Each structure stands twice: as structure tokens, then as C-alpha cells.
Amino acid sequence: MSGIKTLGQFIIEKQADFSYAKGELSRLLRDIGIAAKIVNREVNKAGLVDILGDAGTVNIQGEGQKKLDIFANTQFISALTSGGECCIVATEEEDDFVPIDSPVSKNAKYIVCIDPLDGSSNIDVNVGVGTIFSILRRKSTEGIATIEDVLQKGTEQVAAGYIIYGSSTMLVYTTGKGVNGFTLDPSIGEFCLSHPDMKVPADGCIYSINEGNYVHFPEGVKKYIKYVQVHDATTNRPYTSRYIGSMVGDIHRNLIKGGIYIYPTTASSPNGKLRLLYECNPMAFILEQAGGVASDGFNRILDIQPIELHQRSSIFIGSEKMVRMAEEMMRKYTLKESDKLTNINGTELDPAV
């Protein structure tokens, strides 16, 4: 045991790296870790209890909720409420943000945006799922925290992380001073440092995208897919296609091995599908801290100003060289909405004409 460093020990040692109240942020990360252990327990025994399958409800996005979605949402809100360091929780499963109104939270300064169970459609078939979280510091100084406190750019995050419930359970997080990964040791019930100072390779040969939607992709994405499929020994092409259907699972693999994860706009999702505040922003923060890049195809994800709680975005994230190539294809072959030209009748024009 002398060589093992637990998550709690690591956070205490690294408190000097925190920009804000050291003890408060440490306790907040601890609370998230505790809730993750509870969710992990239920995920691992889901097939033995009545917790698989649909709950018969939908969330604000109109997506069917799984029983474990609701369970995970409840556990994280409960842990953050009782911990006393959080004044607001914004979650995928709630229509509005959840204000934490309790005696222990009256002076809380942090906001947590969270996807309690990413990839939950995989639960019934025993494929890895995860949790994604983003931590912001409250901007207002008086009264009750408001939606304006939540709608901050990704550059304002003080910490972000994810938990992946797979063949082993890992918690990966950053406070803006690099990325570290911790694996849950079930024999002692602790997350232990297993992946210190994680770095994503600058290039890779794995691309992750749902190619079943190819016909609906922007032209730039189609060109990039064709590019990675062409044989070229000098660039190690063709690349390998790997797509799990869980953002956490796909990005975790690419963080370790190198690769790109793309979830672009489509005809049915013209603004993108993934949520900016509790999926794209935290993952972008983590990957940038690991040396990677995160873009919406044209611009840095972390520079996007949120204007609504459940705002969606496209995302191109992973190894720097791969993302930059995809961006180049997007700029060359796909127009941004703001660049489209129309005539007096509103008909879209080709800017090259």
C-alpha cells in the first residue's frame, strides 16, 4: 500500500495548484468521487436488479430516460447537496438548473454542470458508460445564484472530469494543471492514481464517428472521412474506425491512444447534438490540458459563449494534427451559417458565383 496514492491524497497534495478556495474545491471533487462509487456499484450489478431498461419518461431534450439515468442523476445531486460546496447543479436530466438551497450551502461558490450517465443507451447491452462534469465558480456575489452564473464560457471552468464505468472504473480530471487518471480499486474502495500527467498523442490513426449518418453530414466531414479511408503508407492511412456510442468511452480511448472524435451537425441537428455546458466544455478542457484540441469545426469550443442551459454544439476533439486536418476540410468545403449568402427571396446562393 505504500506506493498507492489515493484521489483524496492527490487532491490535498495538489491544492496549491487551485486558483480559488483550496479546501472547498477539494471537498467538491471528493463529493463527486463518492457519488461515482455509488453509481459504479449500481452499474456493475444492473443486470441483477430491476434497474435496466427504460424509465418511461423523457428529459428536456425529448430523449427517453433509462432507469440508471434517473438513479445517477439523483445520486450526484444528493452528494452535491449534502457536501455544501455547490450552489447550483445543471444536469442533462432536469428541465431547469437545480438551486441548492440548504443551510450548509448558503455560502457555496461553485456550480456543477453534469451529464450523470453518458451513453446510457448502452446499459442494456453491457457496454461502457460514463459521467461527465464541469465545475464553474459563481460570478455573482449577492443573493441567489442565477442562470447567468451558469452560462459561462468553457475558459472559465476551474475543473472538469469524467468517470468511465468499464472493465475498470476510472476518474479522470483536470484543474487546469494537467490531466490525471485514477482507477477504482474495489478491494479498498478508493480511486488510486494510475495514469499521472496524461497526454494525448499529437497524431493518431483512430477516428470515431457514427458513419451511419454519413448522408446527413456536412460536406467537410464527408471529405475528411474519405481522406482517412484512403491508403497512404506515409501517413499511416487508412485509419481505424472505432465508435462505441458513448462520448466518454470514445474520447477516453483516443486520449490514451491518439485519435479524433467527431459529432458534427446533421440535417436533423443543425446546431449539433451534444450539450455544450456538460459534455463539450468539460471534455474540451480535459483534452486541451492533455495537449489535444477541441473545436466545433471552425472555432475553439471553450471560446463559445453559452446563451441557454441545454445549448448544443458540434464537436471535433482529439489529437491536434487530426483535428486541424478536419477543421481544414470544414473550412474548405462547408460554409458556416454566418457566411451563407441569400438573395432577396431568401434563396441560398453559392458564394463562389
Domains of the chain from N-terminus onward:
7-195 (3.30.540.10), 206-334 (3.40.190.80)
| pLDDT of 342 | 39
pLDDT band at 338 (very low <50, low <70, confident <90, very high): low
Classify residue 291 as left (phi > 0), alpha (psi -120 to 50) or beta.
Answer: left
| Count of CA atoms in the C-beta half-sphere (13 A) of 14 | 24
| Distance from the Cα of residue 330 to its chain's centroid | 22
Please tell me whether residue 184 adopts helix, strand or coil conformation.
strand
Residue 212, C-beta contacts closer than 8 angstroms, at least 6 positions apart: none
Q: Is the peptide bond before 238 cis (omega within 30 degrees of 0)?
A: yes
The predicted-structure confidence for 188-242, as pLDDT tens digits, reads as follows: 999 999 999 999 999 999 999 999 999 999 999 999 999 999 999 999 999 999 9
Please tell me whether residue 233 adopts helix, strand or coil conformation.
helix
The predicted-structure confidence for 280-297, as pLDDT tens digits, reads as follows: 999 999 999 999 999 999
Report which of 190, 248, 253, 255 is spatially closest to residue 10, judged by C-alpha positions: 190
Report which of 256, 257, 247 is spatially closest to residue 313, judged by C-alpha positions: 247
Report which of 252, 196, 187, 169 is spatially closest to residue 5, judged by C-alpha positions: 196
In which residue are the cell numbers 474502495 written?
A: 189
Rounded Cα distance between 221 and 326, Å, is 7
Strand 129-137 to strand 157-165: parallel, antiparallel, or no bridges (unpaired)? antiparallel
Taking all residues of the chain, what is their mean pLDDT, rounded to a whole number? 87
> Cα dist. 264→10, 160, 242, 267, 285 in Å?
36, 22, 16, 10, 19
Q: How many helices (H) and strands (E) does the chain have?
A: 8, 19
The predicted-structure confidence for 233-255, as pLDDT tens digits, reads as follows: 999 999 999 999 899 999 999 99
Please give the share of the chain, as a percent, with pLDDT higher than 90: 67
Rounded Cα distance between 322 and 144, Å, is 43
Number of C-beta neighbours around residue 232 at 10 A: 10
The predicted-structure confidence for 62-115, as pLDDT tens digits, reads as follows: 555 568 888 899 999 999 999 889 999 999 889 899 998 777 777 889 999 999
Q: Are 192 and 272 in contact (CB under 8 A)?
A: no
Question: Which runs of E-coded beta strand occur in 209-255?
Answer: 240-241
Cell output for 327: 477543421
H/E stretch holding 149: helix 147-150
Rounded Cα distance between 169 and 190, Å, is 11
Please tell me whether residue 262 adopts helix, strand or coil conformation.
strand
| pLDDT of 347 | 42
pLDDT above 60 (res 38): yes
pLDDT band at 352 (very low <50, low <70, confident <90, very high): very low
